[in-house]
């Protein structure tokens, strides 16, 4: 252990690990990258995090490479949860649910969403911005990425469910961050400088200045889509009409680059006891947009999709579900898969499968809504049916949730390469946009799966690639630029929910232009002038970083 890390041991109560196996494990998240950290630490509490930040502050001049990358469950697909210096994992100790009431819950970042969900559902409440990775991700990462999932068309993303955050900032102190009224903001920034909280006063003052002085440019930079995770969300902080100034709206989605979240106060909503889906089998992508336009006015809870390749994967690697469901659970699910196995065998698989979900207070209510939609879209002539049991609905949800994981685990000689994995445009542009994206991908002869949150126009396209090939990095960089240029043309965003990380930070310039990038850099400097928190993500990342970090061995 080197001298600087030995110094940390003096005050840090949690665990410090530099073993080879730990460093190897933490060299990865769910991205296509590999970056080996110097040390992995497991804080016991917020005091430990303060100790760590102060320790970096003290030693940063002597060793400028020192930095901290926050990590909850490490399922990030952008490379946001890996870094070359200190990785700080919250799941070992900082995973406590402190309070659950009908309207809010207070929880530490390392709590797995599945445990949080179980606790809130005991009183008939939940936080609806859950992800397709909800069985494996933690709530800290949902804040870090501003995550969202299948309920986003009805409920929005994580940003909509934050009452308050506790955050350790780069001065090594913990702050309570919550929406401030106009007068609260005024009193906060009018305290004379030189007092104990000079750092906080300066932070609010400088941010208020940046936002108000560049208000129109900032508002115009907001991507014209229903979900966005790219950049710093300066456009969401200050509401001119009400005077509300909410820094939670900036910290959410900032991938641990502005501070370390130590506690989250989530707003909860009531659960709906019943749900069911209408499944639509589309032979081609041609009518996707028209179909979505006709479905959206019915206000479904979810409007999700997956392609033929995702379905084949689920059938081929069905045995994986045994681990998740146990023997009898998997057998029950297996019986549901007989029609799909048959379709796979005879090659009669539809190109795209749509799932339209409604929830409600009774089965009758949902059946009526589903039937109404079914009748309304019958003129398209697609095969469709209402799931006749929760088991059948579960089958479709499993394919939708698990296909990326199945692909990650089973493909030989190639790897899943998430780099254009999260594009979004308004659904009305899909008929023009999707064929153009397909043409770009086909020009590179890539094999890929597609799933998506169709209701938002958000697609997860995951190519398979041999990352040992000397051409892979070139393809990744070139194809990303082409796809993102198309996204730009259709006023979309390069990431709806997976965030920027290593893979997209250099493309933020293409998304937002130089003026907004300058404001992002200023924002970072205000929060983190020494670049302690997760460097190279959100600002400062380069194309060379992408090339260097691509994991070469399969």
Ligand X SMILES: Cc1cc2nc3c(=O)[nH]c(=O)nc-3n(C[C@H](O)[C@H](O)[C@H](O)COP(=O)(O)OP(=O)(O)OC[C@H]3O[C@@H](n4cnc5c(N)ncnc54)[C@H](O)[C@@H]3O)c2cc1C
Closer to ligand X by CB, 416 or 511: give it. Answer: 416
Least spacing, CB of residue 399 vs ligand X, in Å: 12
Min dist. Cβ of residue 240 to ligand X (A): 28
Q: Which residues bind to ligand X, rule: CB under 6 A?
A: 29-30, 69-77, 80-81, 90, 109, 131-133, 137-138, 140-142, 144-145, 147-149, 255-256, 260-261, 404-405, 497-498, 534
Which value, to the nearest 10 degrees, does the dihedral of the CA atoms of residues 207, 209, 212, 217 take?
-80
Nearer to ligand X, 460 or 488 (CB): 460
Q: Specify which residues 423 forms β-bridges with.
A: 459
CB of 518 to ligand X, least distance (A): 22
- CB of residue 337 vs ligand X: minimum separation in angstroms? 20
- Complex with ligand X: residue 377 or 497, whichever CB lies closer: 497
Min dist. Cβ of residue 313 to ligand X (A): 12
Give the DSSP H or E segment for 478.
helix 472-489
Strand stretches in 361-515, DSSP E? 383-386, 415-416, 423-424, 447-453, 458-465
Hey, is 437 helix, strand or coil?
helix
Complex with ligand X: residue 185 or 511, whichever CB lies closer:
511
| Ordered strands of the 162-168 beta sheet | 97-100, 104-107, 260-267, 162-168, 174-177
User: Cα-flanking dihedrals φ and ψ of residue 379, to 5°?
Assistant: -65, -15
Residue 71, Cα to own-chain centre: how many angstroms? 13
DSSP 228: -
The nearer residue to ligand X, 140 or 506, going by C-beta atoms, is 140
229 or 276: whose CB is closer to ligand X?
A: 229
* Minimum CB–partner distance for residue 89 and ligand X (Å): 8
> Helices marked H in 244-389 — which ranges?
248-251, 288-295, 308-316, 320-336, 338-346, 363-377
Residues 145, 255: contact at Cβ < 8 Å? yes
**What is the distance between the alpha carbons of residues 158 and 265, in angstroms, rounded to a whole number?**
12
Name residue 104's beta-bridge partners: 267
In the beta sheet, which residues pair with residue 172? none
We find the least distance from the C-beta atom of residue 154 to ligand X, in angstroms, to be 15
Cβ distance to ligand X smaller for residue 173 or 214: 173
């Amino acid at each position: 252990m080197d001298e600087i890390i030995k110094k940390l041991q003096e005050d840090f109560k949690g665990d410090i690990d530099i073993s080879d196996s730990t460093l190897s494990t933490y060299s990865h998240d769910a991205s296509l990258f590999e970056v080996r950290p110097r040390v992995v630490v497991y804080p016991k509490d917020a005091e430990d995090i303060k100790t760590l930040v102060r320790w970096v502050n003290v030693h940063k001049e002597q060793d400028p490479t020192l930095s901290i990358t926050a990590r909850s469950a490490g399922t990030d697909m952008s490379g946001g949860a890996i870094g070359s210096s200190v990785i700080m994992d919250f799941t070992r100790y900082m995973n406590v649910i402190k309070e659950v009431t009908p309207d809010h819950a207070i929880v530490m970042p390392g709590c797995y969403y599945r445990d949080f969900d179980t606790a809130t559902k005991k009183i008939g409440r939940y936080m609806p911005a859950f992800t397709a990775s909800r069985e494996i991700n933690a709530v800290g990462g949902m804040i870090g990425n501003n995550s969202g999932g299948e309920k986003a068309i009805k409920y929005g993303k994580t940003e909509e469910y934050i009452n308050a955050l506790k955050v350790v900032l780069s001065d090594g102190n913990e702050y309570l961050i919550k929406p401030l009224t106009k007068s609260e903001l005024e009193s906060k920034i009018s305290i004379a400088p030189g007092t104990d909280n000079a750092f906080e006063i300066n932070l609010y003052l400088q941010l208020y200045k940046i936002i108000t002085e560049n208000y129109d440019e900032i508002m115009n930079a907001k991507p014209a889509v229903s979900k966005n995770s790219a950049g710093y969300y300066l456009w969401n902080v200050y509401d001119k009409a009400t005077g509300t100034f909410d820094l939670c709206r900036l910290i959410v989605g900032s991938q641990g680059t502005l501070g370390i979240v130590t506690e989250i106060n989530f707003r909860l909503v009531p659960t709906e006891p019943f749900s069911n889906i209408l499944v639509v089998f589309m032979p081609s992508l041609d009518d996707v947009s028209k179909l979505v336009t006709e479905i959206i006015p019915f206000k479904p809870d979810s409007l999700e999709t997956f392609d033929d390749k995702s379905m084949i994967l689920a059938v081929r690697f069905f045995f994986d579900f045994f681990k998740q469901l146990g023997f009898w659970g998997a057998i029950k699910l297996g019986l549901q898969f007989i029609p799909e196995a048959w379709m796979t065998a005879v090659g009669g698989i539809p190109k795209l499968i749509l799932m339209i979900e409604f929830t409600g207070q009774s089965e009758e209510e949902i059946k009526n809504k589903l039937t109404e939609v079914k009748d309304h879209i019958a003129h398209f002539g697609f095969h469709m049916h209402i799931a006749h049991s929760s088991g059948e609905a579960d089958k479709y949800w499993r394919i939708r949730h698990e296909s990326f994981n199945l692909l990650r685990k089973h493909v030989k000689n190639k790897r899943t390469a998430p780099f254009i994995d999260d594009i979004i445009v308004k659904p009305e542009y899909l008929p023009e946009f999707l064929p153009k994206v397909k043409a770009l991908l086909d020009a590179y002869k890539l094999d890929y799966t597609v799933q998506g949150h169709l209701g938002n126009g958000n697609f997860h396209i995951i190519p398979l690639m041999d990352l040992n090939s000397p051409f892979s990095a070139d393809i990744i960089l070139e194809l990303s630029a082409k796809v993102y240029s198309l996204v730009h043309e259709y006023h979309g965003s390069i990431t709806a929910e997976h965030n920027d990380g290593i893979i997209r930070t250099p493309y933020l310039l293409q998304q937002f232009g130089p003026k907004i990038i300058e404001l992002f850099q200023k924002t970072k400097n205000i929060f983190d002038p020494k670049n302690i928190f997760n460097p190279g993500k959100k600002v400062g990342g380069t194309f060379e970083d992408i090339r260097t970090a691509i994991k070469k061995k399969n």
